[in-house]
Amino acid sequence: MPSSTLLRWLPVLLLLALTVCIGAYYPGLSGEYLFDDLHVIQTNKLLRIPSLAPEFVIPAMESFTASGRQLSMFSFALNFYFFGDSTWWLKFINLLIHCLNGITIYILLKTICHKLAGDTFQSKNSFPEYLAAVTAAIWLVHPINLTSVLYLSQRMTLLSSFFILTGLIFYIYARTRIRSPLRKLVYLPLGILAFTLTGFACKENAALLPLFIFVVELILFRFKSNGKIDREVATIFVGGFLLVALAIGYKFLQRPDWIISGYSSRHFTLEERVLTQFRALIFYIQQILLPSNFSLGLWHDDFQLSKGLLHPVSTLASGIGLLALLVCSIVTLFRLPMVSLGIMWFFVAHAIESTIIPLEIMHEHRNYLASMGIVLSLVCLLDRLLRSRKLILTALFGCIFAYDSVVLAQRSNIWSNNFRLFEHEAMAHPDSAIATFQLGVKYYEDLVRGNAESGARVFELFSRSAALESRAINGELGLVVASEYDSVDYNPDWINRAARKLKEFPKEVSSQSAMMVYLRCLSDGKCKQSEADADILFGAAYDTGYFRLRSLAATYYAGVGNDMQKAEKGFATSLTSGDALTWINYLAFLLRLQKDNLACEIYQEFDAKWNRGEFQNTAQNLGHASNLKKQLAGCRVKAEQS
């Protein structure tokens, strides 16, 4: 295809890619809330703002569970304000942001390609745009990006990615046009900082923007201007590197166990996580090159941990493969800079979530930006190999686009409702305890609606989940809660097994959630068959000494367990944790016992800590704290009088 003809057709090709993308995602827009969506969005009442007045907007922006990400939370609040409580509109806005990111990727790559055109491509006028358009089109319909679009909480990833991409476009534009040394020293750092902080307010991944800029500088400009080393640019990067190194060093001096402490609640060590990431990154690359709906998934808890370089042996092979890719990025730096850029891009995109930070082992949304790097390298490599055979090259790109679109459409249809999604997840990942448990929850909901036939399936799935999971107690407590219905017979051993797991793994996060569900069941007057054995479980939780479990146990003893002395001791000994909900539950307990003086004393300390920002201002905590302030309004008067 002649280059001039191709140039005229590019807008049509991009519009076609966007249309196919929207069409492929359309079935999934009817899907439901998932996983983190429940506490981040669905139950977050602060997001349901009645107006755009600051007194409603600011609490909504500050309502993220782990604090921060204010712009993302604001976007959710705007969603509810303009479109109501509809998951369809939440997902549709996510899709629009994804399309916007696809257009931004095209603009970014076109800018980079034109800058390199003289050295790399035959046609300076159109062929770079062709490669940019093909890369953006394939990325738009790539199935690995679906979780970032249809998993609502990942709007945070979409937005932070947008500011990374626009930050890169700004840098290239400013770097090309600003000639004055003084202006470079002022505008470049200010621009980088502005885009980084704005993206950071969406998700912390935006902290990678300076590293992305470093790679683009290395590929495009090589720290030179007019053939000479640009001292101002070099000063900016060296200064930035030193500032980051000092900040990280200061953090470690303040808290040496900053990284290591996070592993106490994980089922893997730092070494195991790093080694497992070798195989995880290779898995991601495989799925970017040849995606499969039987390998992709919302959960990957069935992914085997690497216990050593040879356990399994694929760990070493994966490490060698990644090292070879890094070497390739260096070797191709001058001859195939776009291939080099794509490889470096992939590694930079994974620098936070796939290294030493104690996050969960795998999530596909970590590839939202990373996938673009692999797609770019593939597109540019195929162009290099088949440049003289344009028809074959175009057909090959068309086949890749069509294959990804079909897989995406199939996956989107799977995501159209949670029952279908969990059925597929449990079938495709039979060793996933989470997928099995979540499917069990859907059958349990069917059981609650009166379908007694679902009881056998509930028992089967919860039992399998309990057997697959060696640490968490979701399966056991799922069985206990389901035993309220005649089709599931209660077995006291479920409580005993759960108690043993709690003692051995007290910091398992999902176990705490399961305990809260079970406690609510008991408090509502349900779960009567297990009521006599509940003391065993909450006694084990209390004895662990772990503040979250002890606080839960204290809540149990303050209500169903009816042991006020143990409840008060449990709450009091958990206050050192710095967990706001523990303080809130203790204050509510003291008010119930009419210990107003002690409640006032504790509240004043709690209020001081709250005002110093020592607690997470989650939606749940903010709501409880607001109620406490009303109940304990007299305490402030007493404090002011004294």
Q: What is the pLDDT of residues 428-450, one digit of tens each?
A: 999 999 999 999 999 999 988 88
Q: Measure the CA angle with vertex 547, ends 541 and 551; round to 5°.
A: 65
Most confident option among 340-354, 388-402, 506-520: 340-354
% of the chain at pLDDT higher than 90: 56
- Are 342 and 373 a contacting pair, CB within 8 Å? yes
Quote the pLDDT of residue 640: 46
* Spatial distance between the Cα atoms of 77 and 75, rounded to a whole number of angstroms: 5
- Are 92 and 110 a contacting pair, CB within 8 Å? no
Other Cβ atoms less than 10 A from the Cβ of 234: the count is 13
* Spatial distance between the Cα atoms of 144 and 365, rounded to a whole number of angstroms: 7
What is the phi/psi pair of residue 229, to 5°?
A: -60, 130
pLDDT over 70 (residue 76): yes
Please provide the distance, in angstroms rounded to a whole number, between the alpha carbons at the two ends of the chain.
Answer: 85
pLDDT over 80 (residue 610): no
Quote the pLDDT of residue 101: 98
Contacts 24+ apart (CB under 8 A), 38-41: 39/65, 39/620, 40/64, 40/65, 40/152, 40/153, 41/76, 41/90, 41/152, 41/153
* Rounded average pLDDT over 591-619: 72
Contacts 24+ apart (CB under 8 A), 464-467: 464/436, 465/433, 465/434, 465/436, 465/437, 465/440, 466/494, 466/497
* Rounded average pLDDT over 155-175: 96
Quote the pLDDT of residue 623: 56
Higher pLDDT, 613 or 348: 348
Other Cβ atoms less than 10 A from the Cβ of 182: the count is 9
Identify any residues that bridge with 224 across adjacent strands, giving them in sequence order: 229
- Are 293 and 410 a contacting pair, CB within 8 Å? yes
Which range among 322-336, 436-450, 536-550, 615-629 shows the weakest confidence by mean pLDDT?
A: 615-629
Quote the pLDDT of residue 637: 45
* Spatial distance between the Cα atoms of 144 and 80, rounded to a whole number of angstroms: 28
Quote the pLDDT of residue 615: 65
Higher pLDDT, 66 or 557: 557
Inter-CA distances, 214 with 172, 193, 234, Å = 11, 14, 10
Confidence of residue 618 (pLDDT cuts 50, 70, 90): low
Higher pLDDT, 307 or 605: 307
- Are 56 and 49 a contacting pair, CB within 8 Å? yes
Which DSSP symbol is given to 26? G
* Rounded average pLDDT over 392-413: 95
* Rounded average pLDDT over 129-157: 95
pLDDT over 50 (residue 96): yes
Confidence of residue 122 (pLDDT cuts 50, 70, 90): very low
Burial of 256 (0-12, 13-18, 19+ CB in 10 A): exposed
pLDDT over 50 (residue 121): no
Q: Considering Cα of 429, then 435, then 440, then 442, what sign does the dihedral take? A: negative
Confidence of residue 578 (pLDDT cuts 50, 70, 90): low
- Are 369 and 144 a contacting pair, CB within 8 Å? no
Model-level pTM greater than 0.85?
yes
SS3 224: strand
Quote the pLDDT of residue 367: 97
Quote the pLDDT of residue 546: 87
* Rounded average pLDDT over 10-25: 92
Q: Containing H/E element for 229?
A: strand 228-229
* Rounded average pLDDT over 295-315: 94
pLDDT over 60 (residue 639): no
pLDDT over 90 (residue 129): no
- Are 345 and 215 a contacting pair, CB within 8 Å? yes
Quote the pLDDT of residue 631: 64
pLDDT over 50 (residue 380): yes
* Spatial distance between the Cα atoms of 84 and 425, rounded to a whole number of angstroms: 30
Determine the length of the chain.
642
* Rounded average pLDDT over 228-255: 89
Confidence of residue 510 (pLDDT cuts 50, 70, 90): confident
* Rounded average pLDDT over 20-38: 94
- Are 149 and 196 a contacting pair, CB within 8 Å? no
* Spatial distance between the Cα atoms of 346 and 215, rounded to a whole number of angstroms: 11
Confidence of residue 628 (pLDDT cuts 50, 70, 90): low
